[in-house]
């Protein structure tokens, strides 16, 4: 993971940051982000003058209300920091933030998914936060290593993890009962899972709607790939390895579920979710963020760790990370206030867990406040085996461009799984090569 920043270097950087920030009027282009740490303030408290912070994120679902509540609580508690929150749909967010930041109009603080951190670091949209982590005394041991390490790019930390949101098994209790299954005993092994699907099938219920539309179809595939012991990329991240036996088996399993009638054909965008809500679908593998949606819809459901279909446990996951934007003419007071805000939310992330997330921070996850949260605390058991893509710039674009069409066509029974994955892998190789040239990594 590159070289550690020594204590002296860190002190020098922190001291220098103020000058760099005050001195450079130029855009991010003339400010190689690596030279400037976010600097200013310890993050433990804020003693500066009154500042306004702008905080952008993409929490457009029910989760947005929880974040807003936390922001309001923070702003009323801290008289000198006024945080305004702006919510933009994630796809638009990732287009708007870089443009806004480069024109100096962007937010001070933002949230980014862990697989986009490297890209935004390389594009100098966000600032390194090594000193924030140091000042806040955040260590690898405070988090799960996989979450903590994924926020590092080029030897520097860019993201402070807020939560992890893994794939989980949602089971519709009404449908399970209709199929004569025990609604309190969701299947946990491949045998149990297939037995349950068989039993549902006998009652005329297609129990596991396999999605066909990206990203859902690919996230399910990635989960099964990990469970079969596969990986998305080789260690050097020069090639996609999803066309390994592990990958072919994973996709074939999905396709066979459809061929054998456990799932309808041609499941449209989020139709599997609609079917689950309408008591037509028994098992829904999806992100933990669905908890609020199903609760609001009044579905009689449970959620817990995914069944293990392959040789090991595995689950697709992503993670929301706090980032500080690389704005021109950055005000050191705002940076200090931003750090304090991040550390406050991080410490109080048990509240955030109520929005259906698993806090990234061990202390919060182990707290009784979180342990009593169902089903979040059960799903948190998956954390030791979640995986993220490697921290390489441009990696977030590879799967949508190459893998998504392949999983889609295979599940629509238009292409043989192996052929589809092979083709996707050779396309990914070209994109990875282009990315290396572009970001000169």
CB of 118 to another protein, least distance (A): 13
- Separation between Cα atoms, residue 186 and residue 79, nearest integer Å: 48
- Identify the helix (H) or strand (E) that includes residue 53: strand 51-57
Work out whether strand 81-87 and strand 51-57 pair parallel, antiparallel, or are unpaired. Answer: parallel
Q: Is 297 in the site for another protein (CB under 8 A)?
A: no
Cα-based distances in Å from 361 to 156, 265, 287, 348, 350: 19, 41, 19, 10, 9
Q: Is 440 in the site for another protein (CB under 8 A)?
A: yes
Q: How far is CA 280 from the centre of its chain?
A: 28
Output the smallest distance, CB 201 to another protein, in A: 16
Looking at the Cβ atoms of 80 and 278, the one nearer to another protein is 278
Of 267, 335, 373, 399, which one interacts with another protein (CB under 8 A)? 267
CA 428 to each of CA 215, 300, 412, 423: distance values in angstroms, whole numbers, following the listed order: 17, 41, 21, 9
What's the min distance (Å) between Cβ of 240 and another protein? 14
Cα-based torsion angle of the residue sequence 219, 225, 226, 230 in order, rounded to the nearest 10 degrees: -140
436 lies in the binding site for another protein (CB under 8 A): no
Select the residue interacting with another protein from 81, 409, 417, 421 (CB under 8 A).
Answer: 409
Interface pick for another protein out of 36, 154, 172, 212 (rule CB under 8 A): 212
The residue with tokens 């054998």 is: 260
Structure tokens that stand for 424 in this block: 């996707």
Strand partners, 53: 83
Give the residue from 166, 168, 186 showing the smallest Cα distance to 282. 186
The answer to the question of residue 269 lying near another protein (CB under 8 A) is yes
Report residue 66 as tokens.
Answer: 């929880």
Please report whether residue 286 would count as binding another protein according to CB under 8 A: no
Q: Quick one: 29 or 235, whose CB is closer to another protein? A: 29
How many CA atoms, within 13 angstroms, populate the side-chain half-sphere of residue 7?
0
Closest CA to 86 of 126, 55, 41, 122: 55
Backbone phi, psi, residue 339, to 5° = -60, -45
Contact residue for another protein among 367, 419, 439, 441 (CB under 8 A): 439
Per CB under 8 A, contacts with another protein among 412-431 are 412, 414-415, 427, 430-431
Q: Quick check: 394 binds another protein (CB under 8 A)?
A: yes
Q: Which letter does DSSP use for residue 360 in this model?
A: S
Nearer to another protein, 148 or 283 (CB): 283
SS3 228: coil
Confirm or reject binding of residue 328 to another protein (CB under 8 A).
no
Q: How far is the CB of 19 from another protein (least distance, A)?
A: 21
Decide: is 60 part of the binding site for another protein (CB under 8 A). no
Using CB under 8 A, count the residues that bind another protein.
47
Pick from 98, 128, 307, 359: which binds another protein (CB under 8 A)?
Answer: 98
Q: Is residue 290 within the footprint of another protein (CB under 8 A)?
A: no
Binder of another protein out of 280, 313, 378, 436 (CB under 8 A): 280
Residues engaged in binding another protein (CB under 8 A): 28-29, 32, 91, 94-95, 98-99, 102, 122-125, 209, 212-214, 264-269, 271, 274-275, 278, 280, 394, 397, 400-401, 405-406, 408-409, 412, 414-415, 427, 430-431, 434, 437-440
């Amino acid at each position: 993971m590159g070289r550690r920043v020594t204590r002296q270097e860190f002190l020098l950087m922190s001291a220098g940051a103020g000058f760099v920030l005050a001195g450079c009027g130029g855009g991010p282009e003339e400010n190689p982000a690596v030279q400037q740490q976010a600097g200013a303030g310890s993050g433990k408290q804020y003693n500066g003058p009154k500042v306004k912070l702008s905080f952008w994120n993409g929490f457009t679902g029910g989760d947005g209300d929880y974040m807003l509540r936390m922001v309001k609580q923070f702003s009323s508690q801290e008289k000198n920091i006024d945080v305004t929150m702006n919510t933009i749909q994630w796809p638009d967010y990732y287009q708007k933030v870089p443009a806004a930041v480069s024109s100096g109009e962007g937010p001070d603080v933002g949230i980014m998914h862990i697989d986009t951190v490297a890209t935004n670091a390389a594009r100098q949209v966000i600032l390194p936060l090594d000193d924030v982590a140091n000042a806040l005394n955040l260590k690898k041991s405070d988090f799960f290593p996989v979450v903590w390490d994924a926020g590092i790019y080029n030897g520097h930390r860019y993201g402070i993890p807020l939560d992890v949101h893994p794939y989980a098994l949602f089971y519709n209790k009404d449908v399970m009962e209709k199929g004569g299954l025990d609604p309190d005993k969701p299947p946990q092994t491949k045998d149990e899972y297939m037995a349950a699907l068989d039993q549902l099938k006998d009652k005329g219920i297609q129990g596991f709607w396999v999605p066909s539309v990206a990203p859902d179809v690919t996230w399910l595939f990635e989960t099964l790939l990990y469970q079969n012991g596969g990986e998305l990329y080789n260690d050097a991240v020069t090639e996609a390895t999803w066309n390994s036996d592990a990958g072919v088996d994973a996709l074939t399993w999905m396709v066979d579920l459809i061929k054998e009638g456990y799932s309808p054909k041609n499941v449209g965008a989020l139709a599997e979710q609609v079917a689950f809500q309408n008591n037509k679908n028994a098992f829904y593998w999806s992100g933990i963020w669905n908890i609020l949606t199903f609760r609001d819809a009044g579905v009689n459901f449970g959620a817990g760790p995914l069944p293990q279909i392959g040789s090991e446990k595995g689950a697709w996951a992503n993670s929301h990370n706090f980032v500080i934007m690389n704005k021109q003419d950055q005000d050191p007071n705002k940076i200090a206030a931003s750090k304090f805000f991040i550390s406050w939310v991080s410490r109080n992330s048990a509240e955030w867990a109520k929005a259906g997330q698993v806090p990234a921070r061990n202390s919060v996850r182990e707290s009784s406040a979180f342990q009593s949260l169902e089903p979040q605390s059960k799903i948190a058991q998956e954390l030791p085996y979640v995986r993220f893509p490697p921290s390489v710039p441009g990696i977030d674009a590879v799967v949508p461009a190459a893998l998504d069409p392949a999983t889609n066509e295979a599940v629509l029974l238009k292409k043989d799984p192996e052929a589809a994955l092979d083709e996707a892998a050779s396309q990914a190789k070209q994109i990875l090569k282009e990315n290396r040239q572009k970001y000169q990594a």
